[in-house]
Amino acid sequence: MFSKILVANRGEIAIRVMRACRELGIKSVAVYSEADKNALFTRYADEAYEIGKPAPSQSYLRIDRILEVAEKAGAEAIHPGYGFLAENPRLGEECEKQGIKLIGPKGSVIEAMGDKITSKKLMKKAGVPVIPGTDQGVSDPDEAARIADSIGYPVIIKASAGGGGIGMRAVYEEDELIRAMESTQSVAASAFGDPTVYIEKYLERPRHIEFQVMADESGNVIHLADRECSIQRRHQKLIEEAPSPIMTPELRERMGSAAVKAAEYIGYENAGTVEFLYSNGDFYFLEMNTRIQVEHPITEVITGVDLVKEQIRVASGEELRFTQKDINIRGHAIECRINAENPLADFAPNPGKITGYRSPGGIGVRVDSGVYMNYEIPPFYDSMISKLIVWGMDRQEAINRMKRALSEYIILGVKTTIPFHKAIMRNEAFRRGELHTHFVDEYRRGID
Ligand code: ADP
């Protein structure tokens, strides 16, 4: 087992990883930007080193500086969290050169799954259902029109290198196709440095259902059930729950086996998520995230498995301590992402100083947060400042508990998504479990 781990991330996920280290008796090392001098994670770590200016390109994305610190501090492994370098295959390569273990899958797997066209092709070969569409880049307008016609409108133009909900556009009729292609190509080129786009069927009102997988380095792969993440704005998740309200043992068996098959086929190691879109009884591979995800706690809550500790154990060479039949789910969990955003102004970021803070507590409540009273939220990073997670014996209890916990949560000085979450917890369609990925848009149109 490692004796010291460097956490190449910030905020709540840095603390989450450090907590796992502490329970395992491992020392943790933080790296931080100038803007994060006073952040909680720098104090939680056993050692902390400043690595550069606030802009991520000058700090959290600087592989050279991070590895320098790892060397100096004597860290044997690096945990990348999510975002920043978590899906950058170069980090793994550079770590390997220095004899440092990266906690995650191999760089070649990260690279293959990071490209939507490549990953779709691989999944097709693995026998996992994919969304009907092209499995190569499309740039010729006539060809695009022919393809869209044969798939049938609506279609969606997606950047192969896309991520974070950026670089995709739904197209309802041929007239819009060329313009949509051009705009997606230019967004893709500027955001990801790769203008390649492809076309697939646009599923209307699908559900986003994903499976947590865990694999060791001896080839054992299991899944830890499902999460439903249909409550999104701008293709980004706001509320997640586990299990999905529509899940049955039969569907879980089918989707879970597809997720395991996907991971096995690519020689996956460590924690990962296979995302599916579900529509009218069918499910289709959407993408695989080759890292720990924001919403991992809801899976921990219903399975009792500490996913980050398992990640560390597996990376140190240990075999999985669970087989598929050891994984039992109990009750229902919900996570609300508390973002420093104004839900009434199209979720515009709202950084600033937290002038009052009291987090909720009591039975079944977990708060994973990186903030505290008088903390100044820097404007340079993600607006998510906290995750509120609850567990209940069943979905109804979880919803009522979330309502209660949200009413206890006090954050003053900045606008947050708390009022939005309260409204969703009261919403009848949500309470009935009638979810789909346009839920937030339709809901907002209803109250506008
Ligand atoms: P990213 O990598 O940017 O997160 P994803 O491919 O994971 O993009 O898709 C994110 C979200 O976009 C999905 O959860 C879904 O809401 C929507 N989406 C993506 N592809 C489709 C599709 N073919 N049909 C309908 N919605 C889609």
Kind plus residue range of the DSSP H or E element containing 260: helix 249-265
What's the mean pLDDT when you consider all of the chain?
A: 96
The closest of 67, 21, 13, 66 to 39, measured between CA atoms, is 13
- Distance, CA 57 to ligand 1 centroid (Å)? 26
Atom of ligand 1 nearest to the CA of 437: 16
Q: What is the pTM of this model?
A: 0.96
pLDDT tens for each residue of 55-67? 999 999 999 999 9
**Annotated active-site positions, please?**
291
By most ligand atoms within 8 Å of CB, the mutation choice from 207, 239, 277 for ligand 1 is 277
Indicate whether 354 pLDDT > 60.
yes
Half-sphere exposure of 370 (CA within 13 A, CB side): 28
- Distance, CA 286 to ligand 1 centroid (Å)? 7
Please report which residue ranges of 25-60 form alpha helices under DSSP H: 40-44
Residues 177 and 171 sit within 8 Å (Cβ to Cβ): yes
Indicate whether 448 pLDDT > 50.
no
Atom of ligand 1 nearest to the CA of 200: 23
Q: What is the pLDDT of residue 446?
A: 79
User: Could you tell me the pLDDT band of residue 164, with boundaries at 50, 70 and 90?
Assistant: confident
The closest of 78, 56, 55 to 67, measured between CA atoms, is 78
Residues at CB less than 6 angstroms from ligand 1: 131, 156, 162-166, 168, 200-203, 206, 208, 232, 235, 275, 277, 286-287, 437
- Looking up tokens 């899958």 gives 105
Q: What is the pLDDT of residue 447?
A: 54
By most ligand atoms within 8 Å of CB, the mutation choice from 233, 437, 438, 441 for ligand 1 is 437
Indicate whether 399 pLDDT > 50.
yes
